[in-house]
Chains A and B, each alone.
Chain A
Amino acid sequence: MDLNIFANTGKLFRFILHLDRIRIPLWIIGLALFTLIVPPTFENLYETQQDRDAIIETMANPAMTAMLGTGDLENYTTGAMTAHNMLLITAVIVGLMAILLVTRHTRAEEEEGRIEMIRSLPSGRLSYLNATLLVTSGTYIVLALFISLGLYALGIESIDLEGSLLYGAILGGTGLVFAGVTAVFAQLTENSRGTIGWSVTILIFFYLLRAITDISNEALSWLSPLGWVSKAGVYSSNNWGPIFLMLAVSLVLFILANYLNSIRDLEQGFIASKPGRKYATRFLQSPIGLAFRLQRTGFIAWAIGMYILGASYGSIFGDLESFFEGNEIYQQMLQQAEGASIAEQFIPTLMIVISLLATVPPVMAMNKLRGEEKNGRLEHLLARAVSRTRLITSYLILAIVNGFVMISLSALGLWSAANSVMEEGLEFRMIFSAALAFFPAMLVMIGIAAFLNGFLPRLTHLVWMYFLYSFFVLYLGNLMQFPNWVGQLSPFGHVPEIPIEDATFMPFFLLSIIAVGLMLISFVGFRNRDI
């Protein structure tokens, strides 16, 4: 084989490391901190085996299995508990990191014309791809070691060396698999948005496939790489098989990406672009029409995704019902809330996850305004007869409608799937109001995004930090036993848990007032600043 096609891979490897010298360490430190603060907290909160056995009661049901994956509930040590609660969600975040990192140095660089410059220098045709894959692989080896040794260094009895090494290796392995998936899609699609879109779709698909098969037929979970995460039995059976599977799959994907790269032309994909319309439709010819058109594909994809997410959670209600029927202790434990059936008591827990995820697309829709500004395309509109107020209003309306559609569709998905598997179906009104209860909190997030767009355009990503905070405290809130105010720092912490709690007027009213206030103030900022 002609080795020239790999010429100068080493230099490019160092170059990419240099480009990402801040980004990669930040990811690694963030993920390590996220992982390492959990076991000591568990150790403090659940000192004895009795304490942990008590929490198993709330863990051993299909709803939690769908969310967290399977865990070793027979022998629920602090280690097993950490792996059960944290490993899958961390693996999903690692997967997302791989997708962003690899896209950034493959299709995104190619799209911007930078790979063309690199190729004009004495570097090989496959050098940049492989330099990227080397950097990614190195990143995941470091991440795996960092987390493994960090966990072991905590000195917790049940967190032994082998289990810790496996914990880190699972995260690194997941990263490699999704680096491979992304590298392949970077060849197939013609632009970076497509690469990210397709790769994230695959990630979500594997998560849902695992959720459904973990409940219905655990053997089938082997079909999803995210299923391997729980199959490894970290801190209990310590099964290394999934690691070899992950390495093998990523190697195959790396080779496939190399092959596809070698048979295609630069800046081309395999999914050819068709000629488009010669004239703009009437709909497109306004700022709001344009803004929607730019987000259309993402909107549709998210809408389908939210429906499927709702339906996946809905589909476990049948299992939930039969699970509780044979379990008297549970019935006593959960029957406390009056007027709600057992299954219904799980709705608020599921709705928190659903509503947090449903907040992502509307916030993205709002931040698109800043994206357009950064790409220098707002100029085209503002240099014409379009006022700034009209422009920001267009994006705001789209974000609000987007959020409403997302949360409604997931409620519809949950309801329709639950109805098809339960003997006595759930009431749609109840499900819908449980979902809609989160809408004002969502509006606050949109309001914050709008406010940042108006006043601090360079800091629009701060809204994501706040979002991550909300996710973290509400996702782990019950388990970590945070004080109340920690949850209440997030708008989502103020939402009443329908149908267990009554819908009270005040929180909705206050959240809505805050949201509207933020939005109105954002107009002032946007009208008075430089673009």
Chain B
Amino acid sequence: MNILEVRNLTKKFGKFTALDGVNFEVGSGEVFGFIGPNGAGKSTTIRVLLGILKASEGEVKIFGKDAWKEAVEIHKRLAYVPGDVNLWPNLTGGEVIDLFVKLQEGNNQSRREELIKKFDLDPTKKCRTYSKGNRQKVALIAAFSSDADLYILDEPTSGLDPLMEQVFQECVMEVKNKGKSVLLSSHILSEVEKLCDRVGIIRQGQIIETGSLDELRHLTRTHILVETKQPVSSLNKIQGIHEIEETARGLTFQVDTEELEHVIRHISQFGIIKLESAPPTLEDLFMRHYESKDKVEGKVSGGVH
């Protein structure tokens, strides 16, 4: 069952089209990664999901309800952490957490204490004195102390230290194990890779790719490092090989995943001493989608025997 469904969502600000027919869905118990470069429309999408912006066209449903008309009902079961957390300078962190949890209409006092300890936050300090990371902690503690069914997290870890990011990942895994859904927008691709079941990539207001990481990997390349007894010849004539480079440790190149079999068969003729392969990272995927096409294609270098 889908918790969240976005159909043909378009949002215009005057003449500028920020979102242009966005489609995706998040299933029950699924962690969905939402990635894209700055200004691609991630936060705009999220603000439409929250009923803060009104869609120009299209349909957004959360828990089967309309995100604009039934915002309040939806929000009783939803927790949100914005990327840029602006808090009231004259309230303390503890006060803000209580306020947020109360407005959610849930109450989980023991969870609050546990999370404050875990995230190592001083709740008696005024928000004015908090750093960006600490303000984010306030929003995260409030979100995870509530018993929501859907968590919408908009770049929630951009100000956290690695230790706290670990705590954050634990929190996400915990809600995932309870069968809750998460929409995670992030620039930290290793985090998305670790946490997300499926990923959607948005660019210039359009979703250009969605699917599970495995599915997406299929579209991309595997890194290979190989050392052979004899020099490998005519490698550049084989289809699907890119970025060949000779290094001190051996020969490195990238292979389109569907061509892997051919390539390995070819290399094995030259007597393999060492073979290392690394799965394509999300970063490769990301880069491949964002760099303009001609630039990627033109990089193939040859001349290795």
Measured CB to CB, the residues of A under 8 A from B are 190-191, 273, 275-280, 284-287, 290, 293-294, 375-377, 379-387, 528-531
Contacts and interface: CB of A to CB of B under 8 A. Distances in A.
Contacts of B80: 379, 383-384
Interface string B89-101: 1111011111110
Task: Identify the 3 closest CB pairs spanning chains A and B, nearest first.
Answer: A280-B98, A285-B102, A276-B92
Contacts of B129: 273
Given A285-B99, A385-B103, A386-B72, A293 B91 contact: yes
Contacts of B94: 276-280
Contacts of A286: 102-103
Residue of B76, B91, B95, B125 most packed against chain A (CB within 10 A): B95
A375 to B, nearest CB: 5
A273 B126 CA distance: 8
B75 interface: yes
Contacts of A287: 103
Given A278-B124, A386-B75, A530-B52, 7 more contacts: A284-B91, A285-B102, A380-B87, A380-B100, A382-B52, A385-B75, A385-B105
A276 B53 contact: no
B145 interface: no
Contacts of B98: 279-280, 284-285
Contacts of A384: 75, 80, 100, 103-105
Interface of B: 47, 50-54, 71-73, 75-76, 78, 80, 82, 84, 86-92, 94-100, 102-105, 123-126, 128-129, 139, 152
B95 A276 contact: yes
A379 B52 contact: yes
Contacts of A387: 71-72
A294 B89 CA distance: 9
Contacts of A528: 54
B160 to A, nearest CB: 19
10 contacts: A273-B126, A276-B126, A280-B102, A377-B86, A379-B47, A384-B75, A384-B80, A384-B105, A386-B75, A528-B54
B183 to A, nearest CB: 13
Contacts, number: 106
Contacts of B84: 376
A71 to B, nearest CB: 43
A299 to B, nearest CB: 13
B123 A278 contact: yes
A529 B53 CA distance: 7
Given A278-B124, A284-B99, A376-B82, A382 B50 contact: yes
B75 A280 contact: no
Nearest to B98: A280
B76 to A, nearest CB: 4
A381 B103 contact: yes
Nearest to B129: A273
Nearest to A280: B98
Contact of B92 (A275, A382, A386, A529): A275
Given A278-B123, A294-B90, A382 B95 contact: no
A380 B152 CA distance: 12
A275 B125 contact: yes
A382 to B, nearest CB: 6
B139 to A, nearest CB: 8
A278 to B, nearest CB: 4
Nearest to B46: A383
A284 B90 CA distance: 13
B76 A385 contact: yes
A293 B123 CA distance: 18
B92 A530 contact: no
Tell which of A275, A379, A383, A387 has the most Cβ of chain B within 10 Å: A383
Contact of B52 (A284, A294, A531): A531
A284 B100 CA distance: 10
